[in-house]
């Protein structure tokens, strides 16, 4: 006898022999994997997955679900890996097990309401296959049933998580039976005293209510018979402890007033009979106005269908009546899981899965038309249209981001300052690029540095509006700051006298004529290359020419440090490097573009000297610059390898390489490498020539 015998008879009620054999094979694997592990109850660990299978088999879930349920803890707790499950039970089962493991790993830590809601959404979003959630709920239900055995502090945490996360999810999926039991168990372990007092009170009131219930039940029975409404059964409903507790708290009602309400459920064959039964009971006792609800015409958010009405009872106490068909009763009990119950023999699990999703989607459409529950749409659309991704901060706060978001979006979602100063990130404690796309359930940590700033490259992979606009704004502000400084420098150089010696009114008049509010606007415009410093200077002084200007400019060339930001750029045509004689050209909206002095592209512009800015390199520049090389190589094996290793030995980086035509004994290649300066480049070229493979090597300028 194995523990499998605990569920075997149940499986035989609805599964084929071969399906049962597969579940048994999974049992054998699970039993072996969990060998030696014990539960807190003292039983072997395998009894837990077997019990979970029992719960799911009771709901008539398919074989794949049961196999995954047997194995639901092996990835987390044993050496068994996903590949083994794929090999033995197929990809579907492996994905289910993997999904359940991921949910198990998530820890719900803070108690904020919004947090709980996000957590619920995340659970739904993580499960691509709804069966993952059904297994997880069954797992949680069995753990709650056996919670007595675990230490007190763990009881409390699990109970809270059950009430705040799992019971609402069961509710959302319409799994009523699960929800009720999860709630009662949750209350029992979270608030043991309240639970005990309430359940004792319920028990005491039971005996006194029994007689009244009998009387009413009999009256309903004969009213239905008199009206010739065929019915399946009439049930006197017992109130659940948790629902009493919730009503006492939310409606601030005393226990006695809640217990004074009697509840009945009438189960009939079809919809027609529902409405006829309603007529019959309204005939029997007077209905309480405005308490009638037609959840058949407009089902509840979770698919629940029923008629609800309240009547004035024979002893003055209200009677709540629910009327529904047999099928509605199934749906009301198991919700989404009921779809597996109606699964035909030929249908595959994925078809049922699709149907269950369609069922949810159908509800969504209906809700949208009825316009009743925005909350529902918000929550279920997560599941149907996975457009969002949920991730944790290191402290356990949950962030909701659009699907496809990257680390940079997360950083800006936390705070603009975090985004603006981030330099690196960790996903699940491992370093990851800022461009990494996030997926559900990851923990993301952003590493910042006080002196860092946004990089324009980030705009290529930022997804959220917040990240994009904050980066853009930052860069715009930075550019404008730099442009102002450059413009001021250029204007000062263009003037024969110091800027501060120019009368205020002259400056004011000039600003007026350009329609600028502040002098900074003028500087910025000059810095960006939209105004020419010399022209502005002439207008300020009132002379048409002042020959000394050019001299002044030559005497004070602008120093290029290599660390300039957004208003100084390096021409792609000639790719200047430190050591090259250089010349700046003002270009509209770009500021200064640095060219090699002899660059052919600026030959004509050099005639318009007001657009040219004399420049010189700073003495020590600590960055690399790109240069283009054209190399003729011998057409021999290993020639390219010899060349690239020579370049590496010379401490230059290769950024780009393109091979060109082969011409007999030679072939031509183009390289972009980065070097510090001309001396460095000369060393690279010398080492390259030394390989004897290089026939010719020249630097390309324009």
Name the site residues for Mn ion (rule: CB under 5 A): 73, 139
Name the residue nearer to Mn ion (CB basis): 139 or 482. 139
Nearest to Mn ion of 31, 73 (CB atom): 73
Q: How far is the CB of 141 from Mn ion (least distance, A)?
A: 10
Burial class (CB in 10 A: 0-12, 13-18, 19+), 370: exposed
How many residues in the chain? 702
Cβ of residue 24: shortest distance to Mn ion, in angstroms?
Answer: 20
Cα–Cα dist 654/648, whole Å: 8
d(CA 574, CA 595): 6
Q: How far apart are CA 185 and CA 126, in angstroms?
A: 26
Token pair 């590949």: residue: 83
- Least distance CB 78 / Mn ion (angstroms): 12
Instruction: Examine the residue annotation and report whether 548 is marked as an active-site residue of this protein.
Output: no
Nearer to Mn ion, 73 or 95 (CB): 73
Residue (8 or 39) nearer to Mn ion, CB: 39
Tell me how far, at minimum, the Cβ of 162 lies from Mn ion, in Å. Answer: 13
Which three-class secondary structure state does DSSP give residue 606?
helix
* Token duo for residue 58: 């009771």
Active-site residue identified among 21, 64, 77, 409? 77
Looking up tokens 């319920």, which residue turns up? 202
Cβ proximity to Mn ion, 72 vs 339, nearer residue: 72
Q: How many CA atoms lie within 13 A of 300 on its CB side?
A: 17
Residue 57 to residue 138: CA distance in whole angstroms:
10
- Name the minimum Å distance from CB 71 to Mn ion: 10
Kindly tell me which of 139 and 580 has the beta carbon lying closer to Mn ion.
Answer: 139
Residue with Cβ nearer Mn ion (139 or 329): 139
* Helix pair angle (407-414, 465-494), 10° resolution: 80
To Mn ion, the closest distance from the beta carbon of 52 in angstroms equals 7
Per the structure block, which two tokens stand in for 226? Answer: 């008199």
Q: Which is nearer to Mn ion, 49 or 303 (CB)?
A: 49
Instruction: Retrieve residue 655's tokens.
Output: 């950024």
CB of 192 to Mn ion, least distance (A): 23
Residue 82 token pair: 């996903």
CB of 96 to Mn ion, least distance (A): 13
Whole-number Å distance between alpha carbons of 243 and 180: 8
Q: Using CB atoms, what's the residue nearest to Mn ion? A: 139
Phi-psi region of 8 (alpha: psi -120 to 50; beta: other; left: phi over 0): alpha
- Catalytic residue (one of 21, 76, 200, 651): 76
Backbone φ/ψ region at 45: left (φ over 0), alpha (ψ -120 to 50), beta: alpha
- 76 catalytic? Reply is yes
Pairing of strands 262-268, 318-325: parallel
DSSP per-residue letters across 441-507: T-BEEEEE-TT----GGGGGT--SHHHHHHHHHHHHHHHHHHHHHHHHHHHHHH-SS-GGGS-HHHH
Is 24:71 a contact under the CB 8 Å cutoff?
no
Please name the residue ranges forming H helices in 529-638: 533-541, 548-555
Kindly tell me which of 34 and 381 has the beta carbon lying closer to Mn ion: 34
Distance CA 182, CA 168 (A): 10
Joined together, the tokens standing for residue 426 give 């960790």
- Find the helix or strand (DSSP H, E) in which 612 lies: strand 612-617
CA-to-CA dists, residue 256 to 129, 211, 315, angstroms: 44, 17, 15
Smallest distance, Å, CB 43 to Mn ion?
A: 13
Show which residues are catalytic.
76-77
């Amino acid at each position: 006898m194995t523990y499998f015998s605990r569920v075997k008879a149940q499986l035989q009620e609805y599964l084929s022999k071969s399906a049962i054999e597969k579940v048994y094979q999974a049992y054998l694997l699970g039993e072996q994997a969990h060998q030696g592990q014990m539960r807190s109850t003292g039983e072997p660990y395998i009894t837990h997955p077997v019990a979970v299978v029992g719960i799911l088999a009771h709901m008539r879930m398919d074989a794949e679900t049961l196999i995954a349920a047997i194995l639901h803890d092996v990835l987390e707790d044993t050496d068994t890996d996903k590949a083994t499950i794929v090999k033995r039970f197929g990809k579907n089962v492996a994905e289910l097990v993997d999904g359940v493991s991921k949910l198990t790993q998530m820890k719900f830590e803070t108690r904020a309401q919004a947090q709980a809601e996000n957590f619920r959404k995340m659970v739904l979003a993580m499960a691509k296959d709804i069966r993952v959630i059904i297994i997880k709920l069954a797992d949680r239900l069995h753990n709650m049933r056996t919670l007595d055995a675990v230490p007190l502090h763990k009881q409390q945490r699990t109970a809270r998580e059950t009430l705040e996360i799992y019971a609402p999810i069961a509710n959302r999926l319409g799994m009523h039976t699960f929800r009720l039991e999860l709630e009662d168990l949750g209350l029992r372990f979270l608030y043991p005293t309240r639970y005990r007092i309430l359940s004792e009170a319920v028990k005491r009131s039971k005996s006194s209510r029994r007689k009244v219930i009998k009387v009413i039940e009999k009256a309903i029975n004969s009213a239905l018979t008199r009206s010739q409404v065929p019915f399946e059964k009439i049930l006197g409903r017992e109130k659940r402890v948790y629902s009493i507790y919730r009503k006492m708290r939310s409606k601030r009602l005393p226990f006695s007033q809640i217990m004074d309400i009697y509840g009945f459920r009438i189960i009939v064959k079809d919809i027609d009979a529902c409405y006829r039964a309603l007529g019959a009971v309204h005939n029997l006792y007077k209905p309480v106005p405005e308490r009638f609800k037609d959840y058949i015409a407009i089902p509840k958010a979770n698919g629940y269908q029923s008629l609800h009405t309240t009547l004035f009872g024979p002893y003055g106490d209200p009677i709540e009546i629910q009327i529904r068909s047999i099928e509605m009763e199934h749906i009301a009990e198991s919700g989404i899981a009921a779809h597996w119950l109606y699964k035909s023999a030929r249908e595959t699990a994925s078809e049922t899965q699709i149907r269950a999703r369609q069922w949810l989607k159908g509800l969504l459409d209906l809700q949208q038309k009825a316009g009743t529950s925005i909350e529902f749409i918000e929550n279920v659309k997560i599941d149907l249209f996975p457009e969002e991704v949920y991730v944790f901060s290191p402290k356990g706060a949950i962030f909701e981001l659009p699907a496809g978001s990257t680390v940079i979006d997360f950083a800006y979602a936390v705070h603009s300052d975090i985004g603006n100063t981030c330099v690196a990130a960790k996903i699940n404690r491992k370093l990851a690029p800022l461009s990494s796309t996030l997926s559900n359930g990851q923990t993301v940590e952003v590493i910042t540095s006080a002196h860092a700033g946004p990089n324009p490259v980030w705009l290529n992979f930022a997804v959220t509006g917040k990240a994009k606009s904050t980066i853009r704004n930052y860069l715009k502000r930075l550019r404008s700051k730099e442009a102002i400084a450059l413009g001021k420098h250029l204007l000062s150089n263009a003037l024969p006298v110091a800027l501060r010696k120019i009368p205020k009114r002259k400056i004011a008049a000039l600003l007026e004529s350009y329609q600028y509010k502040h002098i900074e606007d003028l500087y910025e415009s000059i810095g960006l290359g939209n105004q020419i410093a010399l022209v502005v200077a002439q207008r300020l002084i009132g002379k048409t020419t002042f020959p000394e200007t050019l001299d002044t400019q030559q005497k004070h060339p602008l120093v290029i440090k290599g660390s300039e930001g957004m208003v100084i750029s390096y021409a792609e045509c000639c790719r200047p490097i430190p050591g090259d004689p250089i010349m700046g050209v003002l270009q509209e909206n770009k500021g200064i573009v640095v060219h090699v002095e002899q660059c052919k592209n600026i030959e004509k512009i050099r005639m318009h000297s007001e657009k040219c800015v004399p420049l010189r390199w700073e003495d020590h520049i600590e960055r690399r610059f790109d240069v283009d090389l054209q190399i003729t190589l011998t057409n021999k094996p290993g020639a390219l390898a010899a060349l690239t290793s020579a370049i590496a030995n010379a401490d230059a980086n290769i950024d780009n390489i393109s091979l060109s035509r082969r011409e007999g004994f030679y072939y031509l290649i183009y390289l972009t490498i980065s070097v510090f300066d001309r001396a460095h480049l000369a060393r690279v070229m010398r080492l390259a020539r030394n390989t004897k493979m290089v026939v010719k090597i020249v630097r390309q300028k324009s």
